[in-house]
Amino acid sequence: MSLQQEIIAKLGVKPQIDPEAEVRRRVDFLKDYVRKSGTAGLLIAISGGIDSAVAAALCKKATDELTAEEGKAYMTLGVFQPYGEQADIEDSYSVAQAIGLKTTVETNIEEAVNEIALESEYALKAMGIHKHLSRGGKGNVKARTRMVVQYALAFELNLLVVGTDHASEAITGFFTKYGDGAVDITPLSTLNKRQVRQLGAVLGVPERVITKAPTAGLWEGQTDETELGITYDDNSDYLEGKDIGTEAREKLEKQYLRTEHKRVPIPGI
């Protein structure tokens, strides 16, 4: 078995999908887990990108169906989490409007992140290291702070925190460990980026959101493809078992092997 075949098998990606059937399967998956967990619904952070838009739409369908079937109210809470001013915050709100999501809140993480960064810099200074947190380091603080807020809300409202992780992120390890990678349930995990967009098209996600350049929103101007040097077309082709250029293949496989620690449970002895 080639490394490509091994990765595809491990991440569970299909070479092609029926988007409507995948929507049905994933909505049922969410419903079953909510029932088993005894929770009151789902919480999803809506960034304004395609991944969170699709996850939010699936959550909304799941809790709407549960409410109709169980005779009691289930909630999908959409959380907008800018750091200061977010240039594309309108996309977050337009997603919520497009899918009919009525319960939303905005929690600005700027002050909390800056306090954590400041305390970390004081700690470095005490060690004789006089520096600010690196751009990547502060980006990770942003991702983890967002999760702290999400879990604070989820605990008080008895909700499950839903993640947007999918196979195109998993193969590159392009997520913050215990940040956006720390959630209760991941309804997109066996899809690649192309397939997430296909689900978006049938779920009524705004076209602008489907086609925009993906970004983790960790610093101004950051995009996934620029940061990794790998296009999502190559990434998706690889996960569908297709041949891609040698340079792109080598980058993907090197990234996969280098980030294995992000995909495994906490090791013990």
Mean pLDDT of the chain: 94
* pTM of the full structure: 0.93
CA dist 26 and 22 (Å) reads 6
Residues 108-128 have a mean pLDDT of 98
User: Would the pLDDT of 212 be above 90?
Assistant: no
Within a domain: 76: yes
Find the catalytic residue in 22, 165, 169, 180. Answer: 169
Residues 206-214 have a mean pLDDT of 88
Within a domain: 195: yes
Q: Is residue 146 very low, low, confident or very high in pLDDT (cuts 50, 70, 90)?
A: very high
Distance from the first to the final alpha carbon of the chain:
30
169 annotated active-site = yes
Within a domain: 124: no
Within a domain: 129: no
Find the catalytic residue in 51, 180, 224, 234. Answer: 51
Of residues 147 and 178, more confidently modeled: 147
Within a domain: 123: no
pLDDT number for residue 131: 96
User: Would the pLDDT of 221 be above 70?
Assistant: no
Query: What phi and psi, each to the nearest 5 degrees, are found at residue 79?
Result: -115, 125
pLDDT number for residue 230: 87
Distances (CA, A) of 128 to 115, 116, 120, 122, 152: 20, 19, 13, 10, 35
User: What is the dihedral sign for C-alpha 112, 114, 120, 125?
Assistant: negative
Distances (CA, A) of 158 to 43, 80, 185, 251: 10, 19, 14, 41
Within a domain: 35: yes
pLDDT number for residue 219: 59
Give the CATH number for residue 191: 3.40.50.620
Please check whether residue 66 is in contact with residue 74, taking contact to mean a CB–CB distance below 8 angstroms.
yes
For helices 19-37 and 193-203, the axis angle rounded to 10 degrees is 90
Give percent of the chain with pLDDT exceeding 90: 84
Q: Is residue 52 very low, low, confident or very high in pLDDT (cuts 50, 70, 90)?
A: very high
Within a domain: 122: no
pLDDT number for residue 177: 79
With CA atoms as reference, report the closest residue to 90 among 128, 44, 48. 48
Radius of gyration, alpha carbons of the chain:
19
90 annotated active-site = no
pLDDT per residue over 14-37, tens digit each? 999 999 999 999 999 999 999 999
pLDDT per residue over 77-104, tens digit each? 999 999 999 888 999 999 999 999 999 9
Structural domain tally of the chain? Answer: 1
Within a domain: 204: yes
Residues 147-157 have a mean pLDDT of 98
pLDDT per residue over 165-206, tens digit each? 999 999 998 888 787 778 999 999 999 999 999 999 999 999
Domain of 22, in residue numbers: 3-110+141-263
User: Would the pLDDT of 222 be above 80?
Assistant: no
